Amino acid sequence: MSESPAIELRGISKSFGAVQANRDIDLTVTKGTIHGIVGENGAGKSTLMSILYGYYTADAGEIRVGGQPVRIATPADAIRAGIGMVHQHFMLVDDQSVIENVMLGSVDGLLTAASLRRTRAALDELGQTYGLKVDPDAIVETLPVGLQQRVAILRAMVRRADVLILDEPTGVLTPTEADDLFRVLGRLRDEGRTVILITHKLREIMAITDMVSVLRRGEMIATRRTADTSPAELAELMVGRRVQAPQRTARADTARGPVRLSVRDLALTLRGGARPVKDLTFDLRAGEILGIAGVAGNGQSELLELLAGTRRPTSGDIRMRDRPITALSAGERRKLGLAHIPEDRHHTGLVLPFALYENAVLGTHRDPSLGRGPFLSPRAMRDRAAGHVATYDIRPPDPALRSAGFSGGNQQKIVVAREIERGPDVILIGQPTRGVDIGAIEFIHRRMLEQRDAGKAILLVSVELDEVRALSDRILVMFDGRLSDPVPPETDERTLGLMMAGMTAP
């Protein structure tokens, strides 16, 4: 490992209006290392990396690459400086081929026959060297998500990136795919390249990084050698207090209550013949968390929509308390005691331009306590929201603030509070901690366990295997629209990972 710096950030500051996203940040990333960056939502991680990659320009400060000051005003500047970035959502053009995606936005930029030959040769060499093989003529949208990420990495490597930034790279990968990615990153480090890893998974930080820096509220709090720190210390540095995981014990069959939600032969066929949900049958009981694990895109989203009533099945039967609800609307199901915390809080959980107090009553706006006739009482809405703010520690504690102004973790608390506080019997939860910082994760997990212990029936859908194992009483694995038989939460990660990849019998 070289001790010379690959990247130096000196006195970096950036404001957006009255919000100070980065404040006088110093960071040195040593050449030939994997350097982790962690912090809560809103800590300034993404802003700092966006400055380094040219999406934003700092208000103050200096960037040095290889010891030399550089001006990075655009991503093209970053690419010329040898910096590449793999975004959480990959930034690929779905209907274009792999080789076209790799070449788009390159510095020379031309899709000539000669440049295509050079790129094809480079892809072949990188595939052989790093085990990153992918068909250069395949259309991106036909590839599984693990291979799509591989394309994004190859794009940066073809551009000869000496510094590679990865933003939450394992959020959509199976454990096996994540292990493969880490092997590639380790090899890049061994060859002298530098990796900057943004992740909220402290286990990954401990497993793969050499150094780790902690941001909190826009400031650099600490940098540690990974070998000299621990997940507990990093979590405390991130949130400014000690963080404890909620204690839970999986419930035996005898401790669970009656069936609250019954699903029989549920199926969905889309136009064109695709079948994202294939003849699913299962029961959800009072007083349990039934976890559904799986890589994104295997039918979990469609299943939640079918159960919530926002999509109609092609066939099958859904019952609550033995009452048929298959033909009922989402609103009618809510009246019967069904709550839904959707996967995408921005598009289906909140109306971002609305104030917190307006979002706090969505779906319950016909409650007589909120007004009379067609008119809602702003005071009653604000009072309800104030109760949610106090109970769920929503920050800042301002019911009149637009929901777009809250961090991801606090936005998620707004949705969780609205759905749970009306006292449902059945709670559907999709990706409860996606893009949520460690403090909010701790809080949301505790609330879920409290609801389970109060006798609620909870269906948890998450791509986070650690989350599913930590919270569930039983686990079903979903692959290609089908569900496995139930397995206990103690099932080892390797077995669950193979099931998520469809490599074991369902």
pLDDT of 176-197, one tens digit each? 778 888 988 999 999 999 999 9
Please state the rounded mean pLDDT for residues 480-494: 94
* CA-based nearest residue to 195, from 184, 206, 203: 184
Q: Please tell me the chain's helix, strand, coil percentages from 3-state DSSP, rounded to the nearest 5.
A: 35, 25, 40
**pLDDT at site 250:** 60
C-alpha 226, offset from chain centre: 24
Q: What angle is formed at CA 382 by the lines to CA 378 and CA 383, rounded to 5 degrees? A: 120
DSSP string, 110-164: ---HHHHHHHHHHHHHHHHHHS----TTSBGGGS-HHHHHHHHHHHHHHTT-SEE
Shared fold status for 5-239 and 254-348+423-500: yes
Res 429: pLDDT: 97
Ranges 135-149, 166-180, 366-380: which has the least confidence: 166-180
Coil vs helix vs strand at 344: coil
Looking at the DSSP assignment, which residues form a beta bridge with residue 323? 320
Q: Output the pLDDT for position 392.
A: 92
Contacts 24+ apart (CB under 8 A), 239-246: 239/40, 239/437, 239/438, 239/439, 240/216, 243/438, 243/439, 243/442, 244/442, 245/442, 245/445, 245/470, 246/442, 246/445, 246/446, 246/449
Contacts of 184 (CB under 8 A, 6+ apart): 130, 131, 132, 153
Amino acid at site 180:
D
What average pLDDT is seen over the chain? 89
Instruction: Flag the least confident range among 99-113, 162-176, 487-501.
Output: 99-113
pLDDT band with cut points at 50, 70 and 90 for residue 484 = very high
State the SS3 of 386-422.
HHHHHHHCCCCCCCCCEHHHCCHHHHHHHHHHHHHCC
Distance CA 259, CA 323 (A): 11
For the segment 273-277, the average pLDDT, to the nearest whole number, is 93
pLDDT at 487: 96
What is the pLDDT, as a whole number, of residue 286?
Answer: 97
Domain residue ranges of the chain, discontinuous segments joined by +: 5-239, 254-348+423-500
Indicate whether 171 pLDDT > 70: no
- Between CA 387 and CA 422 the distance in angstroms is 12
| Confidence at 253, pLDDT banded by 50, 70, 90 | low
Please choose, from the candidates 31, 123, 48, 49, the residue with its C-alpha nearest in 3D space to the C-alpha of residue 86. 49
pLDDT band (50, 70, 90) for residue 355 = very high
Of 281, 261, 268, the C-alpha closest to 486 is: 281
Tell me the mean pLDDT in the region 423-430: 97
pLDDT > 90 in the chain, percent: 59
Q: How confident is the model at residue 256 (pLDDT cuts 50, 70, 90)?
A: confident
**Is the model more confident about 373 or about 495?**
495
Q: Which CATH number fits domain 5-239: 3.20.20.70, 3.40.190.10, 3.10.20.30, 3.40.50.300?
A: 3.40.50.300
Pseudo-torsion of CA 495, 501, 505, 506, nearest 10°? 100
Residue type (1 letter), 35? H
Please give the pLDDT value at position 176.
75
**Per-residue pLDDT at 252:** 60
Give the pLDDT band of residue 378 (cuts 50, 70, 90): very high
When mean pLDDT is compared across 131-135, 159-163, 254-258, 469-473, the lowest value belongs to: 254-258
Q: How high is the pLDDT of residue 270?
A: 92
Rounded CA separation 200/437 (Å): 7
- Maximum mean pLDDT: which of 147-151, 160-164, 241-245, 321-325: 321-325
Check pLDDT > 60 for residue 108: no
> Out of 250-254, 318-322, 467-471, which region has the weakest mean confidence (pLDDT)?
250-254
Residue 70 clears pLDDT 90, i.e. is over it: yes
| pLDDT over threshold 80, residue 373 | no
Nearest alpha-carbon partner for 87 in 199, 156, 168: 168
| 379 alpha carbon, distance to own chain's centre | 35
- Report the CATH number of the 254-348+423-500 domain: 3.40.50.300
Q: Could you tell me which of 82, 42, 48, 89 has the C-alpha nearest to residue 65?
A: 82
Can you give the pTM of this predicted structure? 0.72
